[in-house]
Structure 1
Amino acid sequence: MDVEELHRRSVEAFVALVGQVPADRWGDPTPCTDWTVRELVNHLVYEQLWTPPMFAGATIAEVGDRFEGDLLGDDPAAATRAAAAGAIAAVAEPGALTRTVHLSFGDTPAEEYARQLSADHLIHSWDLAKGAGLSGRLDPELVDEVAAWFVDREHAYRASGVIGLRPIPVSDHPQDRLLNAFGRASRYWED
């Protein structure tokens, strides 16, 4: 799967889940202990809004704080769809994946950044599903793509504190192995 497709499909899967969140679940906790369902969705919308300027060559300082605060308003699903459309378009723009993006930890190939965004959307899709009481089954093709990419990055992510400790595995299912690598304890068959 090429990186553009990986990004698009992972973002679209997240957007689809946001559209299914029951009205009474937005304040519920998620496996990301610092975030409720609404805060988790806001975090991903924040990332989606950052994507176009980052792919256009902006620096962190140039983007500044324009995307701080509540980005969801009264219609979180609509806000998520709109932000996602901009992010998908930015990554799909001809030549976008050959650029360099200027992240807080240094200049990074845009293709690597798109993979990071894809992984974040995929893993947080599971977090969202668990918090909102939805099915936590992830697209197996996306799981395989992110898992293959993450093998060489897991140690660095954990060392930097971006992900938690790897829990004791509860199954050998590919989705569970990926979620465990990202510090989540899960069982594929549990919805």
Structure 2
Amino acid sequence: MAIQQLFISSNEHLGRVVDQIRPDQWALMLPERASRNPQDLRAAIAYHAFDDAWVPDVLAGRTAEEVGVRFEPILDSADPAPVYRDHNQRARDAVAAFDDLEAVTHLSYGDFPAREFLQHVTSFRIVRTFDVARLIGVDPAFEPDFLRAIESEYEPLLEQYRAMGVFPDPIIVDDAAPLGTRVMAMFGRD
């Protein structure tokens, strides 16, 4: 599965989980492993809307200086779900139309080929889908083909991501564990 499709699928998965957040759950706090800073669901989903808002501009090669602060009000959304849905769709549309994986993208932490940008964002979506689903008590509903593609894409990258402090150490699980358990354990989730 191409990285563009992995990004689109990971955004679809997160979107389906966000759609299941009940009104009384928005103040739930993400567990420490899921967020470096204490964060409730409202702030986490507003951040994902903010993150998705940037995707079309990042893929177009724009810098933070060029984009400015126009997306910052998203972070204060009183109702982040519809804002998230809108930007999630825009991000998926931009990625579906994008094919220059070697194009340079300008991120807050450096310049990277578009392929790496999409890998970074996709990995974040995968773990956030799992974390939010677990917090609100729903199934992330990752399909086996999607999980196999994630395992193939990220197994060679995770040591590098851990060295950068992006993910914790893996959780050790038996080789016979279900595919979803093994893949999330790679990302340090149990």
Shorter-chain TM band: 0.7 to 0.9
Aligned residue pairs: how many? 185
Compute the displacement of 1:65 (Å). Answer: 4.0
Aligned mates of 1:88, 1:161 — CA distance in 2: 27
Helix, strand or coil at the partner of 1:161:
coil
1:178 to 154, 165, 183: 183
- Structure 2 match to 1:9: 9
**Long gaps (5+) in structure 2:** none
TM-score, with normalisation over the residues of structure 1? Answer: 0.84
TM-score by length of 2: 0.85
Q: Provide the identity percentage.
A: 29
Report whether the alignment pairs 1:80 with 2:84.
yes
**Range that drifts further, 81-90 or 56-65:** 56-65
Matches within 5 A, 1:1-191: 1-31=1-31, 32-33=34-35, 34-68=38-72, 70-71=74-75, 73-169=77-173, 172-185=177-190
Distance 1:27 1:92 in 2: 33
Q: For the residues of structure 2 that align with 1:164 and 1:155, how far apart are their CA atoms?
A: 10
| Aligned equivalent of 1:189 | none
Contact between 2:100 and 2:114, CA under 8 Å: does it hold in 1? Answer: yes
User: 1:92: how far off?
Assistant: 1.9
Q: Distance in 1 between matches of 2:181 and 2:68?
A: 37
